Amino acid sequence: MARRKLPRPTDAEIEILRALWERGPSTVREVQEFIEQSRMTGYTTVLKFLQIVTEKGLVRRDESSRAHVYEPACTEEETQRQLVGDLLERAFGGSTMKLVMQALDAKRASPAELAQIRKVVEEQERRKGA
């Protein structure tokens, strides 16, 4: 079954999603405390963003208890795959090679990351050959 395409999250919305991916289901206060580890933010600001991402379908809200609990509608990997796919088409004309080359040029990969990249490439080649 094809998964519906969700709207592209803004940077602030990704910050909310990252908190939920790392913490798991959380209240507004818990998301705020997580974000405040890197920068100050107000409770009402976090609440507003959680309401926005819920309306967009990026997050689900459990209203069964007094403090609502929020959880991401998609996994981090699913969201990353959608964002990369969108970037691949918009900025790189669908060229995976151009995307990978720019990613490797933008930030030096560690030896462990390069080994993992090689492994993924080898797996792709095996699948294509089968």
Residue pair 70/58 in contact by the 8 Å Cβ criterion: no
pLDDT digits (tens, 9 = 90+) for 96-128: 999 999 999 999 999 999 999 999 999 999 998
In a domain, 34, yes or no: yes
pLDDT digits (tens, 9 = 90+) for 37-82: 999 999 999 999 999 999 999 999 999 999 999 999 999 999 999 9
In a domain, 79, yes or no: no
* Token duo for residue 31: 């998301």
For residue 45, the enclosing domain spans: 11-72
**C-beta pairs of 84-91 under 8 Å, 24+ apart in sequence:** 86/8
Number of separate domains in the chain? 1
In a domain, 22, yes or no: yes
pLDDT digits (tens, 9 = 90+) for 8-36: 899 999 999 999 999 999 999 999 999 99
Q: pTM of the predicted model, to two decimals?
A: 0.80
Contacts of 94 (CB under 8 A, 6+ apart): 88
Task: Read off the pLDDT band of 129 (50, 70, 90).
Answer: confident
CATH number of 29's domain: 1.10.10.10
CA angle 21, 25, 28 (to 5 degrees): 100
Residue pair 17/58 in contact by the 8 Å Cβ criterion: yes
In a domain, 56, yes or no: yes
In a domain, 65, yes or no: yes
